[in-house]
Amino acid sequence: MFQYGSNWMDGTSGISKCPIPPGRSFTYDFLIDGQYGSYWYHSHYSTQYTDGMVGPLIIHAPEEAEVRKLYDHDEVIMLQDWYHDESKDLLPAYLALGNENKEPTPDNALIQGTSIFNCSKYDASSNRTCEDNSTREVFGGGSALSLLILLSIPFLRKPSYEIFFRTHQAVAALVVYSIVQHLISQSNFNWRYVYIFAGVFAALLVFQCGVVTFRSKTWGRHFPRAFITHID
């Protein structure tokens, strides 16, 4: 996203704007010209976005009403690293002398902020609250043609996500609807997809997002699963 003449609306804390104090609010008010699509917002203060201070940011286009006639349903799906320790506890070790390029490996990867984890890895003395399965339905039913916006949000490692949409109904078609650029990434986004039974694979690289539509004869339950590979 290109933003001119209002650095205080997109600044680094303590440089072009002051941090937002706890318990206070700040309204972002800026103009953009001729830009629309799928982006994401995140905290600029230290590593707060690693702990969940992130979210999708959709800029609607003037022609969107016509485009929406091409599909029945749209939804943003966020993929992100997740550490069971807060970033403030991970950062000192990462910045310590002799630890160059030794990024901590995430404990998990999340889809829409939820995932599955083997809680037996932690004993009672760990004082951790753990739930084995926090997954939930991430996009609604009742649609024949759906548009999904995928966002890849990492911390320190460079992950490559593969997301698998398992459907209970036969997939009639998979169409790459459009390719959009993340506001940080300037490289091209490449989709890799292959039909496997009644499912679809799609590959997503670091700091990138993509938009894909798929059609099913009747909309059944769709179970997305993500596989994460960290690139050294």
Q: What's the pTM?
A: 0.64
Token pair of 103, please?
Answer: 């990024």
Domain assignment present for 93: yes
**CATH number, position 153:** 2.60.40
- Are 140 and 219 within 8 A, CB to CB? no
pLDDT-above-90 percentage for the chain:
2
- Range of the structural domain that residue 140 is part of: 64-231
Model confidence at 6: pLDDT above 50:
yes
Domain assignment present for 8: no
- Are 80 and 54 within 8 A, CB to CB? yes
Domain assignment present for 221: yes
Rounded to whole angstroms, the Cα distance separating 129 from 119 reads 9
- Are 179 and 211 within 8 A, CB to CB? yes
Mean pLDDT of the chain, nearest integer: 66
Query: 96 or 231, which is more confident?
Result: 96
Rounded to whole angstroms, the Cα distance separating 141 from 222 reads 9
Please report the beta strands in 137-208, taking only residues with DSSP state E, as ranges in sequence order. 145-153, 158-167, 171-178, 195-196, 199-204
What's the mean pLDDT in 162-183? 33
Model confidence at 161: pLDDT above 60:
no
DSSP, residue by residue, 147-163: EEEEEEE-SSSEEEEEE
The total of structural domains in the chain comes to 1
Domain assignment present for 34: no
Domain assignment present for 57: no
Longest Cα separation, the chain:
57
Domain assignment present for 5: no
What's the mean pLDDT in 173-189? 29
> Tokens 């959009």 map to which residue?
180
Domain assignment present for 55: no
User: What integer pLDDT is reported at residue 95 of this predicted model?
Assistant: 86
DSSP, residue by residue, 66-81: HHGGG-SEEEEEEEEE
